[in-house]
Chains A and B, each alone.
Chain A
Amino acid sequence: MNMKESSQKAVLLLADGTRFEGRALGARGVAVGEVVFHTSGTSTHQLLTTPACQGQILAFTTPLIGNCGVNEDDAQGTGVFAVGMVVRECCRVPSNFRSRQSLPDYLSQRGVVAIEGVDTRALTRHLRDKGSCRGAIVSGQADEAALLRELASPAPVPPAPRAAQPAPRPRREDFHVAVLDLGCCRDLLLGLTLRGCRVTLLAPDTPFDDIAALGPDGVLLSDGPERLTPTEGALQTARALLQSGLPLYGVDAGHQLLAVAAGCRLEPLPAGHRGPNHPVHATGGATFTTTQRHGLTVVPESVDPARAAVTHVNRNDGSVEGLRYAGCPAFSTQYLPDHRGDSTGRADAIGAFLSAMAQRKEGGLNA
């Protein structure tokens, strides 16, 4: 398709007044959200549908986006959670055997306002230097001055999303895992079920007694939105879980929830970690590549050695990537575990969780 047909202008407006002009893509209208950049080139659809990206305008550093179209099988949640998308070039006629729909059609259909033709490298440099900020994609008519005023005020914290995806059934059932759903992505659930876990999805503030009543072999605290402010109920549950002796694994937002429950503080990263190439180093051990998407991080000084220990750090900036909690079979990772299992067997956090559950089961049998 010819570019002329989509040559309607659109603008990305940042809270500091920076403007990036481009062409309208997807739905027309105005999208307001947190503008963040991602270095993943092929997970566009996955990210748009990930509950963790709620409220975000996703800017991709990869210049050619949507070459392989969209396949609903890849969706990480029900519906689109991101509010907008910024790309340099979006493919109109995809070419891939799995493609069911082009990305522009998908965006239009789902009402996602997007913009293309943007110098995404200039945008990335801006966000890197100034930090992620609020912004708006204006596709069509809008009062920019009013928008700027709106962008200047702090963003309302949206209600926590839930993984409306029903958990798929495993072929075999080795363990029963209770998942505290902070906005769990499908791949994480898939990672559990592929390896023999039956999953029960629970709200994050489900009281501990209710969880215990289900008799799970372990509890996973899922990923979720970046700007999650844990409710008091969720924190109470997390504290109780850390006391329970149940195997626990916290991922991403779940990692942060457990960390806070263990007395840690969070702080924003200068530019966030959002991409598939973040090297993580296990203290005294291996280094491996991980996928991440977070803007907050655990303050290393706030880790109380009596309650938790840092097990993994980011090799590049030294930020906390993993914690082990004292006195219980609990650990958490800031990065997302590879749901397919790591091919070199080095970053298999889900495997570690399974081992913890297996150990407890054995212990239980022996006792």
Chain B
Amino acid sequence: MSTPNQNIDIHDEKNYDPTVWVPKAHSHGTKDIWLKFWILLGLTIVDVAFYFLMVPSMARNIIFIALGVIKAVYIVGTFMHMKHEKLSLATMIVLPMFFIIFFLVWMMYEGNFWGTF
């Protein structure tokens, strides 16, 4: 590891060098992180409860996928700091995944008819 060039300001907005530039980091505290941990734990318990209390059906599968998406929102939003990023970045990453969710449900439904036509 070479010693960093002291002449370059890594946070400089005016004389921007893309090879070293990083935005200044801000901490958002730990309270939110622990709150999201308890929510994720609770949602996992809700998952298991649905598994045992509900008869298997496509409706139950959609509940599981919906709970998975809610968990994903908390993991991506809080743990991966997406809710503190610019909307353009969040859109670029999250939007394609909505089509994937649609495709997941679609192909599960489609599989029902394989071998029956």
Are the chains A and B members of one assembly? no
* Residues of chain A having any CB pair with chain B under 8 Å: none
